[in-house]
């Protein structure tokens, strides 16, 4: 299906039908698979055939999910994991070794930040952060032992963009792996491999499921790298359950439709809120006032479902705003059909020091909004009443 359009591949990529001729792919809830003859089992274990062996390795539902994401991202191969963090961790553990150095953007998902600061140093893996707004500084951070550049764009939660074309060129010039966490954008909006990324990671928990039901993760990219990740994953067991693969593969059928509505709603809400007297800032990539609007236009199809507002009154104003919301939920999640409000300074990013928070653009008045699929007027109405009009 690789010559089909994105929307068609998302629906028509399907695991081989069974003799029962089912229309929609069934759920393969089985931990292992059987062999007709001892020789078949030997050949599967030796890697001479790709017969299914055991669901910690691979399973038909995982295969379908992986195939779809590979087509969407333009990747050669992939490995599906039990969560987005399992994808991040499995990638690091299988490709980084003691003595290696990683360059990462400073605003990254809180748990990834904790991996860099707390665990990787214990295994002799060091890192340097570049300021998200200063990609020109990346080259100064490169050392002889730099093995990987890791980044997210748009960043969480402050919504800053990183020029993928620029970083892709630096990575290639210095022969360093480029790994992009593409969770916020999804492959419908942005395909980092086009700009030179070697691997793309997703928390499928977010927009890929899109309905806040299951945890999942995936890493896709160059075949030889995925092979390393797969071999490590099949030994250590971060594999995605077939049930979650089945859910996620079905969810991908509607990814483009959902993302279009998320983006339309977010652009509408952001446009309407710009200039509101209670706010000092409204940040959304496709607002012409956005400081990196040109990068957004270059590498993203649309602005995504995440925006931020900054309340003038700081912490008190932000908590008051959350407490007055009627429909919109307070939750750490994002990428759900339901609109969600989060106060990063007191929740998802509370582990950062106040200085670190300031450096990555998380002020006490910052609210992250994950704009859902409700009617845009109902979303806006709830925000306006919680702002006190
Ligand atoms: C949520 C998230 C993760 C982690 O994913 P889980 O599925 O929760 O483990 C990683 N990166 C980003 C950008 C995220 O938003």
Preceding amide of 376 cis, omega within 30: no
Cα separation, 60 vs 14, in Å, equals: 10
268 CA distance to ligand 1 middle (Å):
26
- The tens digit of pLDDT for each residue in 277-289 reads 999 999 999 999 9
Contact criterion met (CB below 8 Å) for 194 and 74: yes
> What residues contact 257, with CB distance under 8 A and at least 6 apart?
7
The rounded percent of the chain whose pLDDT value lies above 90 is 90
CB count, 10 Å around CB of 350?
Answer: 12
Residue 13 pLDDT greater than 80, yes or no: yes
Tens digits of per-residue pLDDT, 14-61?
Answer: 999 999 999 999 999 999 999 999 999 999 999 899 999 999 999 999
And the tokens for 341? 């409000």
pLDDT computed for residue 204 by the predictor: 98
The pLDDT assigned to 95 comes to: 98
Going from the Cα of 61 to the center of ligand 1, the distance in angstroms, rounded, reads 22
Closest CA to 318 of 298, 292, 344, 299: 344
Q: What is the mean pLDDT of the segment spanning 77-104?
A: 98
pLDDT at 335 > cutoff 70: yes
As given in the structure block, the two tokens for residue 165 are 């074309």
Neighbours of 301 (CB within 10 A): 19
Gyration radius of the chain's alpha carbons = 21
Tokens of 144: 């002889």
Q: What does CATH list as the number for 255-386?
A: 3.90.1150.10
CA distance 302 to 242: 32
Q: Which residues line ligand 1 (CB under 6 A)?
A: 83-85, 109, 152, 156, 181, 183-184, 203, 205-206, 215, 217
Atom index in ligand 1 nearest the CA of residue 152 equals 13
- Ligand 1 centroid to 205 CA: how many Å? 7
Residues 206-253 have pLDDT tens digits of 999 999 999 999 999 999 999 999 999 999 999 999 999 999 999 999
Q: How confident is the model at residue 389 (pLDDT cuts 50, 70, 90)?
A: low
The closest-lying atom of ligand 1 relative to the alpha carbon of residue 204 is 7
Assess whether pLDDT exceeds 60 at residue 203: yes
pLDDT for 385? 97
* pLDDT surpassing 70 at residue 258: yes
Domain ranges of the chain: 6-252, 255-386
| Length of the chain measured in residues | 389
Domain 6-252 belongs in CATH node 3.10.450.50: no
Q: What is the mean pLDDT of residues 301-311?
A: 98
pLDDT at 139 over 70: yes
* CA distance linking residue 140 with residue 344, whole number of Å: 30
Q: How confident is the model at residue 355 (pLDDT cuts 50, 70, 90)?
A: confident
Does the predicted model carry a pTM greater than 0.85? yes
pLDDT at residue 349, as a whole number? 79
pLDDT band at 2 (very low <50, low <70, confident <90, very high): low
pLDDT band at 311 (very low <50, low <70, confident <90, very high): very high
Task: Report the pLDDT value the prediction gives residue 361, as an integer from 0 to 100.
Answer: 82
Q: Taking CA 359 as the corner, what is the angle to CA 265 and CA 87, rounded to the nearest 5 degrees? A: 65
Q: Whose CA is nearest to atom 2 of ligand 1?
A: 203
């Amino acid at each position: 299906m690789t010559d089909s359009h994105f929307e068609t591949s998302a629906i028509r990529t399907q695991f081989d039908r069974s003799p029962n001729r089912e229309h929609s792919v069934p759920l393969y809830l089985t931990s292992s698979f059987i062999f007709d003859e001892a020789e078949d089992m030997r050949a599967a274990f030796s890697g001479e055939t790709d017969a299914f062996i055991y669901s910690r390795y691979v399973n038909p539902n995982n295969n379908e999910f992986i195939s779809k994401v590979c087509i969407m991202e333009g990747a050669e191969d992939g490995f599906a994991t039990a969560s987005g963090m399992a994808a991040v961790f499995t990638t690091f553990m299988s490709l980084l070794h003691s003595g290696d150095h990683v360059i990462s953007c400073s605003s990254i998902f809180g748990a990834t930040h904790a991996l860099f600061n707390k665990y990787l140093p214990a295994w002799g893996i060091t890192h340097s952060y570049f300021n998200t707004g200063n990609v020109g500084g990346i080259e100064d951070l490169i050392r002889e032992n730099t093995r990987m550049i890791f980044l997210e764009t748009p960043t969480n939660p402050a919504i800053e963009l990183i020029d993928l074309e620029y970083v892709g060129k630096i990575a290639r010039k210095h022969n360093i792996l480029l790994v992009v966490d593409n969770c916020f954008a999804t492959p419908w909006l942005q395909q980092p491999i086009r700009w030179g990324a070697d691997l793309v990671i997703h928390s499928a928990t977010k927009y890929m499921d899109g309905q806040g039901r299951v945890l999942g993760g995936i890493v896709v990219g160059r075949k030889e790298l995925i092979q390393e990740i797969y071999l490590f994953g099949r030994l250590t067991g971060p594999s995605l359950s077939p049930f979650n693969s089945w859910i996620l593969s079905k969810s991908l059928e509607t990814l483009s439709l959902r993302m279009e509505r998320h983006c339309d709603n977010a652009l509408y809400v952001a446009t309407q809120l710009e200039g509101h007297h209670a706010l000092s800032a409204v940040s959304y990539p496709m607002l012409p006032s956005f400081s990196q609007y040109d990068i957004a236009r270059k590498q993203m199809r649309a602005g995504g479902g995440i925006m931020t507002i900054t309340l003038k009154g700081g912490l008190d104003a932000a908590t008051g705003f959350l407490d007055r919301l009627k429909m919109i939920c307070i939750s750490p999640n994002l990428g759900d059909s339901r609109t969600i409000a989060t106060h990063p300074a007191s929740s998802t990013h509370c582990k950062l020091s106040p200085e670190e928070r300031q450096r990555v653009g998380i002020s006490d008045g910052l609210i992250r909004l994950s704009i859902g699929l409700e009617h845009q007027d109902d979303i806006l109405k709830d925000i306006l009443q919680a702002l006190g009009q």
